Amino acid sequence: MSAIGSAAQNVPAAKLISLRLPLIICSVLAAGGIVAGALLDHLVMGILFAVGMGMGLYNARLMQKQVLRVISGENPTKRAIVGSSTQRLIVLTVIALALGFFMKPDGLGVFVGLAVFQLVFMGNTMLPVMKEYRRQ
């Protein structure tokens, strides 16, 4: 096992899956995106940027609930997790594509918001692991 894998095992799961810090960071970034969009005469893009980050947060929360529901069932399978994830991602993708298509060019903000959320979420997950790795 790698040193980072070992460090990841020592980090409490609650710390890795908490959405409190990503919510705070995304709220600040969303407000900044709306202000920047307004200053650049693209208020709708700023709002859609915030919507994209909100969709990312919502997706992460739904993923946690669905995985918890599947693993706490009597017969948890990978197929159940994949099925629920596929449905959730298809719905969010259709919404993002519809907003992007029907509100162009400002609809691009949804995709930027989703991408920024992923960076925030991955950073939130990696930061405790890297701290533990350095501690070892």
1 lies in a domain? no
Domains held by the chain: number: 1
Tens digits of residue pLDDT in 41-81: 999 999 999 999 999 999 999 988 888 888 887 787 788 77
Q: Residue 35's pLDDT is what?
A: 97
| CB of 5 closer than 8 Å to CB of 134 | no
Tell me what the pLDDT averaged over the chain comes to.
88
Q: Which token pair is 56? A: 């990312």
* Listed residue (38, 33, 36, 40) closest to 113, CA to CA: 33
Q: What is the identity of the amino acid at 33? A: G
Which tokens sit at 14?
A: 């609650």
pTM: 0.85
Q: Please state, in angstroms and rounded to a whole number, the distance separating the CA atoms of residues 96 and 30.
A: 17
Residue 4, domain member (yes or no) = no
Residue 87 lies in a domain: yes
Quick one: pLDDT at residue 73? Answer: 77
Q: Which domain holds residue 44?
A: 17-131
Flag whether 10 is in a domain: no
Q: Does any domain span residue 108? A: yes
